[in-house]
Structure 1
Amino acid sequence: MQLTEFRVQNYKIINDTGWIPVEDLTIFVGKNESGKSAIFRALSKLNPSDGEGYDGLKEFPRQRYAEEITKTDWPAASGRFSLSPREQEEIRALSDLCNDVHGVEVTRHYTGKYSITYNPDIGVELVTAKDLTYVIDVAIEQFRNLIAPEGRGEVLGRIKGELLSILEEQKEVASNAGQVQKRHITDLINMVKTRGNEQWQLELINPICEPIYSLVRQIEVYESLMAANRYIIDHIPKFVYFDQYSVIESAIHIPTFIATLKSHPDSPSLRATNCLFRHVNLDLDILDKLGTHKNATDENPIIRRQVDERSILLSTASNQMSRRFENWWDQRRIRFRYDIDGDYFRVWVSDDLDTSEIELEQRSAGLQYFFSFYLIFLVESGDVYQDSILLLDEPGLQLHPTAQQHSVKFFERLSQENQIMYSTHSPFMIDLDHLERIRTVHESEDGTTRVSATEWPTDHESLFPLEAALAYRIASRTYIGGRQLLVEDIVDLWLLQAMNYAVEKIGKSGLEPGITITPAGGAANLIPLASLIRSHKNPVSVLLSGQHIPADALTRLSGMNTEREKFLLLYSQITGTPGSTIEDVFNHDYYTRCVKDVYPNMVVTSGSGENSGERDGNQGILHAVSEAIDRRQGEKFERWKVAETLSDRICEAPGMVDDETVQRFVRLFEEINKATRAE
């Protein structure tokens, strides 16, 4: 059975999630306290691997508990499953009603009761006491009205008296009965039929019994459907729920564990340890007694045999875990060894790179997590783990981001045999290539949990992991993008690309192939981003407008193990004027004509000069234009609008760009080419 959708209702802060479609691998993203854990725990109890049922006192929505808990048997979790061809064939063999069934919907209630709906829907009504009393009334009336064949009135009268007495008695029994059983009706039919032993008698009695027979057939159909229901319940995949509380300890004090298990058998902290003993197949009561016989010094042959058996079980289980875990953990070949030293059970770990054994708790948190996860998965799924669904609550939180990314690939591999759902708020556990796997979990205005499979919520905190994952992807592709030129913003990118196109169109040398221009989103981001790119051994240069150099940027450059002049470029190196931006590299008249296209009433003051060499101090053309527009037109100058117009004009008519501008950009491109070449 393959889970296709699920629904959680009436559970903690969840009123109703609605139907949530799931894939082989489905990821639930949301902030803390949004309800991710509640969704998983509720769903896991549809068929829990740990056997834990619903507890209305602890799990029913608290604000509704007093008024509503006793009103009905509330549904908690539902799942819609598709049936495999084999399962469809087997269920058809149980009930003819299921000939066309290809899917089922299973709901579990707080009492543990299951309700099942088939797809396509089928149904047969249960025979009730009211149904039985009705057909008995009809039979009584028909027997009263029987007319005997000629000469047989006396015999028929005696038979009618007996039959009416039986039917009246059974009517009273039926009216007081609870559920009507098949044997009740067959016994009634036998009592009626035995009153007639000749053919003419049976010809009168049998037609009257036919409605009673129909109830038997109705019960048989119902029983066949109940058999199909039992089949469905028996074949629901086991849900293995795993959270951080289930990570095992590597040194277990056996007497303490046994005492705690007896006093608090449902404690989540004992779950993994209990699975460990079950995996080794050790009887805890015998194990507790053996604790007083350290090193098997007791000459009692029974104790000696138990100790030897314990050693064999430990060795077998250790080898089995090592062999199976190898198919899961692809980072190193791990070997486990289980050992009992006095009152302590210990897990020792070694690997192919270091054969020295150390305790499990001394290994990485990631290995401890996945060992515990696999152990619970293996034991609670009863080794038939192909029929299990894994619900992992915030897996890999303690892992390094790169290990979290590896975990996603690991889960993808596992999902080929087992459906997996996991919750996260880490951007490194999100694969942006498969957004169809993501379900967002967020709080509604009334504080209850909502889940979305088709729309992104407006809540920024819920979307933050996705936004961070996207930002990381963009940044990581920048790091590995070959030769990089970092510029301050998108305007620099537009104008550099446009002029590179222009100089090449008129036969001049532009940027060398392989150079990527990346806007950093502000001057303050240029130096940190350049530092990260250089840490990846990629050539990078930074092109700054002198007007916006951060105060401590040049100081930070000195710590980057490189000569600043090798990768730091300034527009002022081309214009000869401090504070130059990319607009100052253009001829003054060429740029201002574009400004006037955007701002027709703009008048540039004479103090701005005719070219970049004559401009006032460190102000530049942008200051003059902005001042003219802000003061004379009463509107705010928007640099990007002029840059967009200028870029379009350059690309439409590369030959119309003046020679002075072309020469300056050719020089700029030469400097960029030199600065971005690998050292």
Structure 2
Amino acid sequence: MRKEVGKLTPEGDDPDEVKPTLSDITRAIRDLLPNGQSLRQAVWHALFARIPSFFYFSEYSSLPSTVQIRNLLAADEDDLNEQDQTALALLKLAEFEEDHLLDTDYETRKRELENVANELRGQVLDYWSTNRNLRVEMDLTLKQKPVDNGTTTVIDELHIRMRDDQHELSLRFDERSSGFRWFFSFLIAFSRYEFDDTSVIILLDEPALGLHAKAQKDFLHFIEERLSKRCQVIYTTHSPFMIQPDHLERARLVEDRGREQGSVTTSDVLTTDSDTLFPLQAALGYDIAQHLFIAKDNLVVEGPSDFLFMQTISERLLEDGREGLDKRWSIMPLGGADIIPAFVALLGNHLDVTVVVDARKEGHQKLTALAKAGFLGEKRIITIGEIADRKMADIEDLFGKDDYVALYNAAFGKKLKAADLTGTDPIVRQIARKEGVDRYDHNAPAEVLLRERARRVATLSEETLDAFEALFKRINETLSQSRA
């Protein structure tokens, strides 16, 4: 007797079993498909439903100050103009009750409007750190409008105003600054995607142009905290304040390379012209300057490679529940060991500074002298050599040889093997000697680790992770030390 499809026993368990034919399997699958669809149609519909929609916005119509509320709530959302769509998104964000909003009883209607306004203050205005004294005021009035037969009809109008408690002044929404209107309208309009199951990718061209630096940071905070958790957001910008220095791996550079190549998108900063790089450089410079004069605890390192290696591997260790760099540290790459003494001499009396330097320098006499002069605690001078237990060592010597050689090969398209290297001097010298060069760009392997972080960090050996963890423990020990 033939058994049902899906209840077959393993081959050989039942010698009397009659195996299902292809037509049996096809019939069983067809019974599972809706509305008599073919398997191909069902697969296509399932895949098509998962294809995201693209929404491109260079500008979004500003929220109006006055809205015909009954028409707004009764209309099909797709038939609304852009301004009214923003107004409807405002109401949805505040989770309004339509029956209460249009209730003929003034008190019921007023309470609902106040609830909507209070909700908006928490949902949207918390992201406008420029002025914490703003709040939304809303009211519904009745307006008589003449119709064709000589009679009049009554229209419910929703009025939106912004009140500034600091100046005890309220203005119609459309009388606020253009930058604020754009910011508020944007946050309202795109917040709807938090409550929408539509798969969507939002494309923005030069957003937040009318905002100053602090407000652009607020805008990024909204995207990071609210919008990007629900949608993919892609935007173009020339503003350094729209770039996140702690997430440079997300950035891509778009460069016009002439008629033959056209526009090229890349993450490789080494092949990009200075004009294209400027926003990234400005963002990094601003971030460094901000941290320099605001952060209490500053960790000074020699160059960009030290910064990238330490930051990236620290994140991996913290994710594994191990010790990474304490979040209170502000890492300052100064561009070379020779600059560090001048930096400490200028600012050491005003900032808590710990210095990490390579071990190859002969005693670092200048730093030692500054420590003796009271500019720097002696225990806050950390050499890589004391971590690697070697007289001469660079940050690269904290990697297992295979780990660092893999980064070097990826950076320069080489096929070098760790076994090819000889000597007890720092690995960067061993590689240069093997390659027959005096020096190579030490930043390139660090950029590979940053650019391909997910893949590269996952393959690091325990030897590498243990060495960097030892460095971070030593650094963190200096965090609470006073500059004696």
Q: TM-score, normalised by structure 1?
A: 0.31
Larger RCO of the pair (alpha carbons < 8 Å, separation 6+): 1
TM-score under structure 2 normalisation?
0.42
